[in-house]
Structure 1
Amino acid sequence: MVAIYWRILASLSLITGFIGVLLPGLPTVPFILVAAWASSKGWPRLENYLLGHPKFGDDIRQWRGGGYVRRRAKYMATLLIGLSMLLLWMSQANSWLAIIVTLICTFVLLWLWLRPEPQH
Structure 2
Amino acid sequence: MIRLLWNTAGFAALALAGLGVILPLLPTTPLVLLAAFAFGRGSTQFRDRIVAHRVFGPPLRDWKARGAISRRAKVAACSVMALTFIASVVLGVKPVVLVVQALCLGGAAGFILTRSS
For Structure 1 versus Structure 2, the TM-score category normalised by the shorter chain is 0.7 to 0.9
1:62 matched residue in structure 2:
62
- 1:39-118 → structure 2 map (5 Å cutoff): 39-117=39-117
Count matched residues: 117
Q: How far 1:35 sits from its partner (Å)?
A: 1.6
SS in 1 for 2:97: helix
Counterpart CA distance in 2 for 1:70 and 1:16 is 18
2:38 matched residue in structure 1:
38
The runs of at least 4 consecutive aligned structure 1 residues that moved more than 4 Å come to 18-26
SS in 2 for 1:68: coil
Paired-residue identity, %: 26
Counterpart CA distance in 2 for 1:77 and 1:36 is 18
2:28 matched residue in structure 1:
28
Asked if structure 2 preserves the Cα contact closer than 8 Å seen for 1:32 and 1:56, the reply is: yes
SS in 2 for 1:55: coil
Structure 2 residue runs of 5 or longer lacking an equivalent are none
Q: How far 1:59 sits from its partner (Å)?
A: 0.4
SS in 2 for 1:107: helix
Asked if structure 1 preserves the Cα contact closer than 8 Å seen for 2:13 and 2:31, the reply is: yes
Question: What's the TM-score, normalizing by structure 1?
Answer: 0.77
Q: How far 1:24 sits from its partner (Å)?
A: 7.1
Question: What's the TM-score, normalizing by structure 2?
Answer: 0.78
Counterpart CA distance in 2 for 1:41 and 1:115 is 25
Structure 1 residue runs of 5 or longer lacking an equivalent are none
Asked if structure 1 preserves the Cα contact closer than 8 Å seen for 2:17 and 2:32, the reply is: yes
Q: How far 1:98 sits from its partner (Å)?
A: 1.2
Counterpart CA distance in 2 for 1:26 and 1:84 is 12
